[in-house]
Amino acid sequence: MAVGLEERSEEYRAFALEQRGIEHVPDSDRKLRPWGLFFIWAGGIWNVEFLVYGALIVSFGLSFWQAFVAILVGNVFYGFLGWASLLGPATGTTAFMVSRAPFGRNGNRLPSLFNWVTQVGFEIEGIVLIVLIVEAMFAHEGVGLDTAGKAAVIVLAVAAQFVVPFLGHATITKVLRYLSFVFVVVFAIMAGLVLPHAHLSHLHQHATWWIWTTGLVLIVSAGGLGWTENAADYSRYLPSETPASRTFWAATLGGAIPSILLELLGAAAYLVSPKVTAVTGVPSSFASWFFWPFMILALPQLLSINSLDMYSSGVTLQAIGIRVKRWGCVLIDTVIAGAVTALVIFKGNFYTDLSGFLDYIVVWLGPWFGIIAVDHLLRRGRYDVASLAAARGGVYWRNGGVNWRALFALLLGMLAAMMWIDAAFYFPAYTSPLSSATHGADLSWLFGLVVGGLAYWLLSYSKVPAELTAGGSRPAGR
């Protein structure tokens, strides 16, 4: 079965199996509205994971007010998510199909592979947290899970996780919209329980500015930059005539508002109990009666955010060139994520691995986004849909399906990111030359983005406009 971008009409309906994968979505089938895009992101990010991120950066040695500034500054970069969301209405296809424009069909396999690994990594994170929460529930009642019990929980967690991304975009949109209202209520209750006990004067630690950048990179990678590679996967169901400003603000605010509130609450909760850096320790910051309500509601929260990752990993597999239907790719990813989850549960050091994962993914993600953003500007948002779909030939074929200029810019940006990363306490442990020279600063995400984007611009500023003329490119879907 060839997987392409050919248009195919399909009813957009929740709780029915979405047959479409990376194929172009015709305007007649684009039923999403900006308000719906807002709730996709808000519903996914109203999540206990983001509360833990806020606590984690305080645990690095930051004071509450340093964490406060890092959270506000870091979440400004949800503007990257808003920008990346513009590609969906413009093309009617997924992020890593649009990525073929700068990289070429075959050259795009490398960043697509990086993205697939990243998405599966986030899926594993979510499933591990679900398993840890269930273990904590049993432990709270004095019951310890043996190996067989843990294995059973992993199987059940993986099976539950599979359902919503398997059904597809319309189901994810509806489920996250309704869950977001429930999660807002839970957040308000948690804030009411924590804030009266979070005395800022009780924490006197104060980190250097350089260590502050390490907290910032976690916020940026888990937030605005870390979601750019998913953006078009969800905004592609917006009609092509949707005003760019409405698309931008729907995605930006849908992500930034819950992220800021939850991370600030997490930073405050750390003042009450340092155990909040682990999901299973979060209830210790609240009243004892809140243990069961929190733990039970944390499960659908984690399933909801994982749905975003698992849907995107499926369409990314198709963009790589795997000749399997979208739902089949979700099944493949489910099996892989479940197997690796078992390894992490039985062998890993999860919270250290999580911090390292968030630190290292920006090495490729920053340069890739810089290239995508520059390419979008150079071609003025105009893409040739037929060339994105073509198995051979077309505007983006270039040298055997590879644009070496884009790949060179990506690798140069990744090298730049590795020159300014501080991963001394993660696996694999590594401290870059620039980080050593700046007392532990980590500006990998920014350095890689700027170098990758600038290199692509220097190599392509005259080439991309010529492609527009040669290919007769037009805003997709118009």
The residue with greater pLDDT, 89 or 440, is 89
pLDDT confidence band for 7 (50 / 70 / 90): low
Place of tokens 């359902």: 163
Structure tokens at 383: 């893409």
Task: With respect to residue 340, please indicate whether it lies within any of the assigned structural domains.
Answer: yes
Please report the pLDDT score of residue 476 as a whole number.
Answer: 42
* DSSP 3-state of 445: helix
Tens of pLDDT, residue by residue over 120-167, are: 999 998 899 999 999 999 999 999 999 999 999 999 999 999 999 999
Please report the pLDDT score of residue 170 as a whole number.
Answer: 94
pLDDT confidence band for 473 (50 / 70 / 90): very low
In this prediction, what percent of the chain has a pLDDT beyond 90?
69
pTM: 0.91
Structural domain boundaries, residue 138: 27-351
Task: With respect to residue 7, please indicate whether it lies within any of the assigned structural domains.
Answer: no
Tens of pLDDT, residue by residue over 304-349, are: 999 999 999 999 999 999 999 999 999 999 999 999 999 888 876 7
Task: With respect to residue 146, please indicate whether it lies within any of the assigned structural domains.
Answer: yes
Q: What are the residues whose beta carbons fall under 8 Å from the beta carbon of 133, sequence distance 6 or more? A: 279, 280, 295, 298, 299, 302
Q: What are the residues whose beta carbons fall under 8 Å from the beta carbon of 423, sequence distance 6 or more? A: 356, 359, 360, 429, 430, 431
Residue 155: CB atoms within 10 Å: 12
Nearest to 308 by CA among 102, 82, 77, 46: 46
Please report the pLDDT score of residue 475 as a whole number.
Answer: 47
Task: With respect to residue 338, please indicate whether it lies within any of the assigned structural domains.
Answer: yes
Residue 46 has phi, psi (to 5 degrees) of -70, 85
pLDDT confidence band for 474 (50 / 70 / 90): very low
| Alpha-helical runs (H) found in 284-349 | 291-320, 326-347
Please report the pLDDT score of residue 1 as a whole number.
Answer: 36
Longest dimension (CA), the chain: 70
How crowded is the C-beta side of 221, counted as CA atoms within 13 Å?
33
Please report the pLDDT score of residue 460 as a whole number.
Answer: 96
Q: Measured between alpha carbons, how far is 156 from 269 in angstroms, rounded to an integer?
A: 30
Tens of pLDDT, residue by residue over 401-458, are: 999 999 999 999 999 999 999 887 776 788 899 999 988 889 999 999 999 999 999 9
Task: With respect to residue 410, please indicate whether it lies within any of the assigned structural domains.
Answer: no
**Number of domains observed in the structure of the chain:** 1
Task: With respect to residue 413, please indicate whether it lies within any of the assigned structural domains.
Answer: no
Structure tokens at 399: 């040298």
Task: With respect to residue 16, please indicate whether it lies within any of the assigned structural domains.
Answer: no
Task: With respect to residue 233, please indicate whether it lies within any of the assigned structural domains.
Answer: yes
What dihedral do alpha carbons 453, 458, 462, 466 form, nearest 10°? -40
Q: Measured between alpha carbons, how far is 184 from 144 in angstroms, rounded to an integer?
A: 32
Q: What are the residues whose beta carbons fall under 8 Å from the beta carbon of 412, sequence distance 6 or more? A: 367, 451, 452, 455
Amino acid letter, residue 316 = T
User: What CATH number has the domain bearing residue 119?
Assistant: 1.10.4160.10
